[in-house]
């Protein structure tokens, strides 16, 4: 499969890689869509609480309960050019899965559309980021995910920021909400090549001030990756590796609203349904709506 050919061919190619589940409001065909949603039900490197592979299905189920009209943005989502190509077919091999995510994302991005990926664990972002080599990356995460290799695997979800650094290089990655880093990661000479904005720093200064400090350093194009464990466990309990003292949902929404027009690729990962009380799936679905709503609204945020 390549990136040549027209969009009709690409739609056929993509449909062979995906299932038939759709998010409510995704009423457009691939050819006419501006936003292309896909799920990646992969969780084979997760070390603590498994089950994020069921994330895509549960986010879609939660999304069914959201209003199609949004009163904050004054947009009707069902009329916006959103397409859902379903879940891509994954196996247990992290490296193959990451390559497949790269393949799918690159087709979507080359067609000038915005990929919205629902995980699955965070390792999959190591594939999607390869289509955004000239972009900056903004991450929401409790963890620095900066091990070069973990349990013998460079594509473990604990390594995804390091994999992103391989692609983007120094000064391009900004990770918000950090509060869990091993000594090994902290003393890695490359650690300073990423700007880790800790959850404590955000609490002290406010998200607004933290964003203002980095805003001028962002490229015109941004890839935005939300590891749901970046948000406080009280608001997002359904994650594989929960960490106390996290970000508030409104702080994450604030970043999305402020950066929305620059964001060319978006993902929500690490949601793990078995440990949820219903709030995490709803928040994950809502953050997707907030991203699209922030881009499509005529109102100023
Ligand atoms: Mn992560
Ligand atoms: Mn994390």
Ligand 2 geometric centre to CA of 197 (Å): 14
Within-domain flag for 3: no
Which of the 8 DSSP states describes residue 20?
Answer: S
Ligand 2 geometric centre to CA of 181 (Å): 10
Residue 111 to residues 84, 114, 125: CA-CA distances in angstroms? 15, 9, 19
Within-domain flag for 228: yes
Ligand 2 geometric centre to CA of 2 (Å): 33
Closest ligand to Cα 242: 2
Long-range pairs for 78-81: beta carbons < 8 A, 24 or more residues apart: 78/24, 78/25, 78/27, 79/27, 80/25, 80/28, 80/34, 80/35, 80/292, 80/296, 81/28, 81/32, 81/33, 81/34, 81/35
What secondary structure, in 3-state letters, does 191-240 show?
Answer: HHHCEEEEHHHHHHHCHHHHHHHHHCCCCCCEEEEEEHHHECCCCCCCEC
Ligand 1 geometric centre to CA of 262 (Å): 22
Within-domain flag for 1: no
| Strand, helix or coil for residue 74 | coil
pLDDT tens digit at each of 301 positions of the chain: 445 678 888 877 776 555 556 898 999 999 999 999 999 999 988 777 889 999 999 999 999 999 999 999 999 999 999 999 999 999 999 999 999 999 999 999 999 999 999 999 999 999 999 999 999 999 999 999 999 999 999 999 999 999 999 999 999 999 999 999 999 999 999 999 999 999 999 999 999 999 999 999 999 999 999 999 999 999 999 999 999 999 999 999 999 999 999 999 999 999 999 999 999 999 999 999 999 999 999 998 8
Tell me the residue range of the domain where 128 lies: 11-296
CA atoms lying within 13 Å on the CB side of residue 148: 8
CA dihedral sign, ordered 132, 77, 256, 218: positive
Closest ligand to Cα 160: 1
pLDDT at 45: 87
Within-domain flag for 106: yes
Closest ligand to Cα 179: 2
pLDDT at 244: 98
Within-domain flag for 20: yes
Strands 136-140 vs 75-76: parallel, antiparallel or unpaired: unpaired
Interval 69-85: pLDDT, tens: 999 999 999 999 999 99
Asked if residues 84 and 26 have their Cβ atoms less than 8 Å apart, the reply is: yes
Within-domain flag for 301: no
Which of the 8 DSSP states describes residue 241?
Answer: S
| Strand, helix or coil for residue 255 | helix
Ligand 2 geometric centre to CA of 97 (Å): 19
Interval 82-128: pLDDT, tens: 999 999 999 999 999 999 999 999 999 999 999 999 999 999 999 99
pLDDT at 117: 98
d(CA 108, CA 141) in angstroms, rounded, equals 25
Within-domain flag for 6: no
Ligand 1 geometric centre to CA of 249 (Å): 17
Ligand 1 geometric centre to CA of 247 (Å): 14
Ligand 2 geometric centre to CA of 32 (Å): 34
Within-domain flag for 2: no
Ligand 2 geometric centre to CA of 10 (Å): 33
Residues with CB under 5 A from ligand 2 (ion): 141-143, 227, 229
DSSP 45-78: T--SS--GGGHHHHHHHHHTTS-SEETTTTEEGG
Kindly report the CATH number assigned to the domain that includes residue 91: 3.40.800.10
Say what the pTM is: 0.93
pLDDT at 1: 44
Ligand 2 geometric centre to CA of 189 (Å): 21
Location of structure tokens 């027209």: 6
Helix axes 207-215, 249-259, angle to 10 degrees: 30
Ligand 2 geometric centre to CA of 269 (Å): 9
DSSP 75-93: EEGGGS-EEEEEEBP--S-
Domains held by the chain: number: 1
Ligand 2 geometric centre to CA of 227 (Å): 6
| Strand, helix or coil for residue 276 | coil
């Amino acid at each position: 499969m390549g990136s040549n050919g027209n969009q009709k061919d690409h739609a056929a190619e993509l449909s062979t890689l995906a299932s038939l589940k759709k998010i409510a409001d995704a009423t457009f065909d691939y050819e006419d869509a501006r936003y292309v949603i896909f799920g990646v039900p992969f969780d084979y490197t997760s070390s603590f609480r498994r089950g994020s592979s069921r994330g895509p299905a549960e986010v879609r189920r939660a999304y069914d309960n959201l209003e199609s009209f949004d009163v904050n943005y004054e947009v009707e989502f069902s009329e916006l050019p959103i397409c859902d190509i379903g879940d891509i077919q994954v196996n247990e091999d992290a490296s193959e899965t990451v390559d497949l995510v790269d393949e799918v994302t690159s087709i979507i991005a080359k067609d000038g559309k915005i990929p919205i990926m629902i995980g699955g664990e965070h390792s999959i972002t190591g594939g999607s980021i390869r289509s955004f080599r000239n972009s900056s990356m903004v991450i929401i995460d409790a963890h620095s995910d900066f091990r070069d290799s973990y349990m013998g695997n460079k594509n473990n979800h604990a390594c995804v920021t390091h994999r992103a650094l391989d692609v983007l290089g120094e000064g391009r990655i900004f990770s918000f909400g950090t509060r869990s880093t091993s000594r090994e990661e902290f003393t890695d000479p490359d650690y300073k090549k990423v700007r880790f904005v800790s959850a404590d720093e955000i609490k002290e200064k406010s998200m607004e001030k933290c964003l203002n400090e980095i805003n001028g350093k962002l490229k015109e194009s941004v890839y935005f990756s939300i590891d749901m464990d970046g948000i406080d466990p009280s608001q997002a309990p359904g994650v594989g590796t929960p960490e106390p003292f996290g970000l508030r949902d409104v702080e994450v929404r604030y970043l999305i609203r402020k950066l929305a027009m620059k964001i060319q690729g978006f993902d929500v990962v690490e949601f793990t349904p078995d440990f949820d009380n219903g709030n995490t799936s709803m928040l994950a679905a809502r953050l997707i709506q907030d991203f699209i709503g922030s881009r499509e609204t005529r109102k100023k945020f």
